[in-house]
């Protein structure tokens, strides 16, 4: 990379560090660290949500998946706007009205069981760590390409920067960095689209016509395959569409606004940004295939998952300067996403596991903040170590595994808690455990962990959602039916559900209207 391009990269990273320093002066409490004290406006939060989700998995992984696998790669992202529409309709307002710091707080408004809070906390940690791994892989490969350094060194450097952003700036810094990088990412999309279309007569349909001819039509047709392939494709789509509603780092963003109206505004804003950005990805991916077909670096990237498709296309279209700008934006994208994931993980550890379960709520916010920062270091180290083992996997696919786990455990718990009257604490607990264990076990026994010999895998499906999501819902339902309260306990359970539904809809806890003392979650 040229010195001018290096300056562009360093300057953009410096800007994000400046935001972190500014936010760090305001990051003095556990409320500010985990949810920015609920002070973010709906529009800003919507842009930040888009920045949270348009991460390495989308910007690098999805484009690479389309370039390598054709139209099927678009399935990794095309259902995201649909998923957020479901989030808008089902969970955005109830989460804001019921939650405080974590998803565990939402469930605790109805169930005081330690098992419920412990299950959602552990599930959230597993999901966030899996998603962090995808970001680490994308960022390390990007830095390796730009500066020609070892993958291990690149990954360690990224871990250090992530710790700096999260420990110093907390959720407030993460929010504003996500807003900045979303704007820059949209600018990147416009620039890349313009440069790419200049090679095809400024007509996007020319790109599709040429890729159709070059691939004998296969690139534009969904590949159904044989055997388990069609079911695997459906399993992936099923998991992506439902799993977004259970992702801790995305859902807790609805806790950073002041009320349910702002939460609703956040979701609508994010949906429009997703739609505008994602529609450009097939054009860029197919343009890369056409323009870089003879490039040895592109061929090597395709063999290793295709994650470097966009950076290599940038270098081809605009030289080192465009490569540096696009890579710097991608890097900022990854760091912001990592910071959000780390905060979701540490919130579950410090608030749910330590404060509520281990210390039974008898801990000050200052001590809880210290535990959150210790958990920050631990989560980054664990994700970094796993990322060293899966460097050749497509990052978008790695992210879909995390989403499938979220759909199998967290989503059923949230929906049953908010909407199903006969749900019990035992049902929620065992449903989450069943969904989580099934999803993780299927991933470990899938071809993902047997890349050299996929036939040796015990389960042919790469994505577990088709099996693990129904398992989570069905077990939650059956255990709830089997553990229904009787007599006075049934009446009390009905009153609690009515209170939760009223609060989820209005944002008002009826106990406060009656003058009762309400314990803080």
Sign of dihedral through CA atoms 377, 382, 385, 390?
negative
Res 415 pLDDT > 90: yes
User: pLDDT digits over 20-54, tens only?
Assistant: 888 777 777 777 777 777 778 889 888 988 877 77
Residue 228: predicted pLDDT: 56
Residue 420: predicted pLDDT: 94
The fraction of the chain above a pLDDT of 70, given in percent, is 92
* Of 322 and 394, the one with more pLDDT: 322
Q: Say if 304 falls within a structural domain.
A: yes
Q: What is the mean pLDDT of residues 295-322?
A: 81
Res 256 pLDDT > 70: yes
DSSP per position, 81-126: HHHHHHHHHHTHHHHHHH-SSSHHHHHHTT---HHHHHHHHHHHHH
Quick one: pLDDT band at residue 369, thresholds 50, 70, 90? Answer: confident
CB-based contact 40:189 (threshold 8 Å): no
Q: What is the mean pLDDT of residues 214-227?
A: 72
Quick one: pLDDT band at residue 428, thresholds 50, 70, 90? Answer: very high
Quick one: pLDDT band at residue 497, thresholds 50, 70, 90? Answer: very high
Residue 71: predicted pLDDT: 79
* Of 13 and 128, the one with more pLDDT: 128
Res 100 pLDDT > 70: yes
pTM over 0.85: no
Quick one: pLDDT band at residue 70, thresholds 50, 70, 90? Answer: confident
Q: What is the mean pLDDT of residues 389-396?
A: 67
Q: What is the mean pLDDT of residues 101-119?
A: 88
Residue 1: predicted pLDDT: 54
Residue 34: predicted pLDDT: 74
Q: What is the mean pLDDT of residues 397-424?
A: 88
Res 304 pLDDT > 70: no
Name the residue range of residue 306's domain.
Answer: 3-16+40-392
User: pLDDT digits over 372-386, tens only?
Assistant: 888 888 888 888 888
Res 331 pLDDT > 70: yes
The domain that holds 319 is classified in CATH as: 1.20.1730.10
Q: Say if 496 falls within a structural domain.
A: no
Res 281 pLDDT > 70: yes
* Of 407 and 28, the one with more pLDDT: 407
Query: Which of 175, 159, 254, 195 minimizes the C-alpha distance to 16?
Result: 175
* Of 86 and 515, the one with more pLDDT: 86
Residue 499: predicted pLDDT: 92
Res 209 pLDDT > 70: yes
Res 438 pLDDT > 90: yes
User: pLDDT digits over 445-480, tens only?
Assistant: 887 766 667 677 788 888 888 999 999 999 999 999
Quick one: pLDDT band at residue 194, thresholds 50, 70, 90? Answer: very high
Question: Using CA atoms, how far apart are residues 461 and 458, in angstroms rounded to an integer?
Answer: 9
**Maximum distance among all Cα pairs of the chain, rounded to whole angstroms:** 76
Q: What is the mean pLDDT of residues 175-189?
A: 85
Q: Which position has the token pair 């019990």?
A: 424
Q: How many domains does the chain have?
A: 1
Q: Say if 289 falls within a structural domain.
A: yes
Q: What is the mean pLDDT of residues 400-405?
A: 81
Question: Using CA atoms, how far apart are residues 490 and 494, in angstroms rounded to an integer?
Answer: 6
Q: Say if 266 falls within a structural domain.
A: yes
Any alpha helices (H) in 348-464, and if so which ranges? Answer: 365-387, 395-419, 425-444
| Cβ within 8 Å of residue 417, ≥6 positions away | 106, 107, 109, 110, 111, 423, 428, 500
Res 518 pLDDT > 60: no
Residue 396: predicted pLDDT: 61
The average confidence (pLDDT) of the chain is: 83
53-63 residues labelled b (16+ CB within 10 A) or e (exposed): bbbbbbbbbbb
Q: Say if 403 falls within a structural domain.
A: no
* Of 511 and 188, the one with more pLDDT: 188
Res 160 pLDDT > 70: yes
* Of 340 and 109, the one with more pLDDT: 109
∠ CA(120), CA(26), CA(175), 5° rounding? 55
Sign of dihedral through CA atoms 415, 122, 174, 306?
negative
Question: Using CA atoms, how far apart are residues 27 and 169, in angstroms rounded to an integer?
Answer: 6
Task: Report which DSSP code applies to 391.
Answer: T
Q: How many residues does the chain have?
A: 521
């Amino acid at each position: 990379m040229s010195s001018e391009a290096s300056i562009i990269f360093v300057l953009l990273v410096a800007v994000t560090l400046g935001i972190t320093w500014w936010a760090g002066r305001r990051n003095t409490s556990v409320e500010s660290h985990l949810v920015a004290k609920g002070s973010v406006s709906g529009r800003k939060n919507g842009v930040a949500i888009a920045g949270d989700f348009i991460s390495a998995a989308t910007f690098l992984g999805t484009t690479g998946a389309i370039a390598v696998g054709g139209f099927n790669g678009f399935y990794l992202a095309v259902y995201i706007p649909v998923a957020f529409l479901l989030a808008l309709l089902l969970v955005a307002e109830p989460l804001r009205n019921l939650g405080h710091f974590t998803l565990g707080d939402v469930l605790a408004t109805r169930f005081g069981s330690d098992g419920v809070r412990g299950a959602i906390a552990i599930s959230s940690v597993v999901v966030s760590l899996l998603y962090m791994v995808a970001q680490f892989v994308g960022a390390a490969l990007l830095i390796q390409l730009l500066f020609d350094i070892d993958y291990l060194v690149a990954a360690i450097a990224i871990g250090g920067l992530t710790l700096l952003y999260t420990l110093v700036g907390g959720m407030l810094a993460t929010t504003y960095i996500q807003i900045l990088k979303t704007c820059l990412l949209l600018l990147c999309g416009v620039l890349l689209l313009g440069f790419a279309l200049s090679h095809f007569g400024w007509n996007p349909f020319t790109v599709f016509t040429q890729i159709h001819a070059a691939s004998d039509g296969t690139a534009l047709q969904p590949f159904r395959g044989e055997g388990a392939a069609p079911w695997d494709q459906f399993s992936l789509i099923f998991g992506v569409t439902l799993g977004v509603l259970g992702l801790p780092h995305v859902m807790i963003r609805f806790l950073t606004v002041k009320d349910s109206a702002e939460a609703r505004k956040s979701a609508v804003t994010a949906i429009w940004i997703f739609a505008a950005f994602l529609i450009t990805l097939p054009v860029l991916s197919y343009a890369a295939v056409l323009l870089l077909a003879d490039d040895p670096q592109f061929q090597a990237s395709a063999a290793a998952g295709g994650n470097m498709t966009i950076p290599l296309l940038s270098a081809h279209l605009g030289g080192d300067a465009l490569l540096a700008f696009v890579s710097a934006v991608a890097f900022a994208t990854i760091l912001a996403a990592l910071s959000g994931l780390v905060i979701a993980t540490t919130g579950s550890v410090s608030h749910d596991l330590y404060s509520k379960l281990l210390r039974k709520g008898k801990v000050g916010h200052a001590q809880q903040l210290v535990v959150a920062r210790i958990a920050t270091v631990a989560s980054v180290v664990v994700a970094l170590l796993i990322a060293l083992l899966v460097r050749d996997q497509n990052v978008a696919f790695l992210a879909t595994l995390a989403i499938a786990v979220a759909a199998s455990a967290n989503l059923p718990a949230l929906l049953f808690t908010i909407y199903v009257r006969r749900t019990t604490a035992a049902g929620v607990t065992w449903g989450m455990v069943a969904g989580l264990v099934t999803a993780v076990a299927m991933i470990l026994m899938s071809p993902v962990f047997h890349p050299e010999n996929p036939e040796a895998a015990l389960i042919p499906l790469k994505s577990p959602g088709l099996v693990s999501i129904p398992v989570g819902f069905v077990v939650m339902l059956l255990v709830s039916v089997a553990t229904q309260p009787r007599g006075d306990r049934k009446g009390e359970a009905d009153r609690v559900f009515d209170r939760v539904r009223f609060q989820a809809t209005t944002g008002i806890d009826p106990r406060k209207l009656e003058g009762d003392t309400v314990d803080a979650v």
